[in-house]
Amino acid sequence: MGIKVVKFGGSSLADAEQFRKVAEIVKADPNRRYVVASAPGKRYSDDVKVTDMLYRCYELARNREDISEYYRQIAERYNSIIRELGLNFDITGELEYIKNGIQHHTGRDFAASRGEYLNSLILAKYLGFSFIDAESVVCFRENGTYDGEKTDALMREELKNHPYAVIPGFYGVMPNGTIKTFSRGGSDITGSIVAAAAEAELYENWTDVSGFLMADPRVVKNPRPIRTVTYRELRELSYMGATVLHEEAIFPVRNAGIPINIRNTNEPDAPGTMIVSTSSSYDADTVITGIAGKKGLSVITIEKDMMNAEIGFGRRVLDVLEDHNISFEHLPSGVDTMSVVVSTASLDNQRERVIASINKSVRPDSIVCEDGLALIAVVGRGMVKAKGTAARVCYAISNADVNIRMIDQGSSELNIIVGVEEHDIEKALNAIYSEFVKG
Ligand code: ADP
Ligand code: ASP
Ligand code: MG
């Protein structure tokens, strides 16, 4: 049997009780040789993640406020885990060193990264595994982008020295030695990097849900777990806000052909979701695999008679966006209209300038920018074979008394994108879910 790389998220390592579950899972299979750990997450719904506490500590220090009391609470999160596990392990020196670092402005990323650093030290001790500091194996380039080649070479070498190891997620090192983190939720990326370097047979991502669900459980009640999803379907879903797995976590394992298994630490016997490269041996049991939606979008609608005959029109519009550092989310177009969907936040402080530049560049008959749009992606590899899926989506949404602002089916027939008013998104998601998942 091949190697398994296992990543545990914040809620899976939030306290001593969760640590025990994690150890049981790791020890149940000797192939689970490399463990990637997150910082302690929430223990209950209005708890605060240690990563957020560390960011706050950094802000306090930056405003020259005393961090002692607040930092004491962070230290207590770790000390209580050690105490309740009955470990003979003293991290006082580590805690002091980190506090000092934060007080002396070692950097925002340094502060945040210490959440996974400390948790991984404790977990390594508890499991009796080696500790490999991500700082010595995960590298970023001068410009802040992740350096896959360098990391892969270093990681492969280091893993050879340790049959069993814990590696902290979320961070790595810049060429000058300072700590840099991935974006939030980035431990998923570290797990994927380790799996690729270990040439693992499987990357298990342990979290607090029994797999990737067909819809966000915070919006749709008790959605069904998805048994198998392809990387392409998952990309579409996570891009639209189904955030069980960090979007960038897909690439290292997909390129290496390693499947990901999303599992639940609190329900270890559930099979979870398998994320695979090709679905050939996995027939879809439902027409749609999943749905996801995202809010906070604006649509810029540009109209001009005979637009279709004007060569370079679209490019000039997109050039303006590029000049303002705005990426577009979606581009539904008609013969004489072009709509560009962008995130409302990206227009902050430059909305008038962007509109003026488009006006100047393509001289449209009209240009309107409206906020409050939400997009929904209905995704499924089963759609190619099923007739009338778009019609069913529209029927379900209009039956729920929700107005459809736009609809677009990707040419790959893997997804249908629907635009609705932001305040209608929950209603629309529930309507689509019920239409396709009966009973
Ligand atoms: P971790 O801390 O383990 O990395 P995350 O909080 O990042 O976990 O991801 C798991 C959470 O993602 C779930 O608790 C759930 O609230 C949320 N979520 C959003 N969309 C979905 C979905 N389609 N399926 C499952 N969970 C989802
Ligand atoms: N602890 C980090 C965060 O809260 C990274 C992670 O959990 O993946 O974003
Ligand atoms: Mg996560």
Distance 367 CA to ligand 2 centre (A): 41
Res 335: pLDDT: 84
The C-alpha atoms of residue 204 and residue 263 are separated, in whole angstroms, by 7
Residue in 116, 206, 245 to alter for ligand 2 test, most ligand atoms within 8 A of Cβ: 116
Kindly write down the DSSP assignment for every residue of 312-347, as one continuous string: THHHHHHHHHHHTT---SB--B-SSEEEEEEEGGGG
* pTM of the predicted model over 0.85: yes
Residue of minimum CA distance from atom 4 in ligand 1: 9
Distance 342 CA to ligand 2 centre (A): 26
Average pLDDT, the chain: 94
Ligand 1 lined by 389 (C-beta under 6 Å): no
Kindly write down the DSSP assignment for every residue of 361-415, as one continuous string: HH--SEEEEEEEEEEEEEE-GGGTTSTTHHHHHHHHHHHTT--EEEEEE-TTSSE
Res 284: pLDDT: 60
Ligand 2 lined by 51 (C-beta under 6 Å): yes
Query: For the segment 137-189, what is each residue's pLDDT rounded down to a tens digit?
Result: 999 999 999 999 999 999 999 999 999 999 999 999 999 999 999 999 999 99
Query: For the segment 365-389, what is each residue's pLDDT rounded down to a tens digit?
Result: 999 999 999 999 999 988 888 888 9
The mean pLDDT values, 10 residues at a time, for the chain of 439 residues are 95 98 98 98 96 97 95 98 98 97 92 98 98 98 97 98 98 97 97 98 96 93 93 89 87 93 97 86 74 95 90 93 93 88 95 96 95 96 86 95 90 88 97 88
The CA angle 55-80-115, to the nearest 5 degrees, is 25
The C-alpha atoms of residue 18 and residue 82 are separated, in whole angstroms, by 12
